[in-house]
Structure 1
Amino acid sequence: MPERSILGWLLIGLVAGVLGKVIMPGRDPGGVIVTMLIGIAGALLAGFVARSMGFAMESAWASYGAATLGAVVLLALYRVVVARRIG
Structure 2
Amino acid sequence: MSILAWLLLGLIAGFIASKLVNRTGSGVLLDIVLGIVGAFVGGWLFNQFGSSGVSGLNLYSLAVATVGAVVILALYHLIFGRRAL
Task: Give me the TM-score of the superposition, normalised by structure 2.
Answer: 0.68
Out of 4, 22, 41, which is 2:19 matched to? 22
The Cα shift of 1:32 comes to 2.9
* Aligned-CA RMSD value: 2.7
Structure 1: gaps spanning 5 or more residues: none
The Cα shift of 1:62 comes to 1.8
Task: Give me the TM-score of the superposition, normalised by structure 1.
Answer: 0.66
Question: Does structure 1 retain, via aligned residues, the 8 Å contact 2:46–2:52?
Answer: yes
Following TM superposition, where does structure 1 have runs of at least 4 consecutive aligned residues deviating by more than 2 angstroms?
A: 5-11, 48-54, 56-61
Q: Tell me: CA distance 1:81–1:27, structure 2 relative to 1, closer, same or farther (3 Å).
A: farther
Structure 2: gaps spanning 5 or more residues: none
1:48 has 2:44 as partner? yes
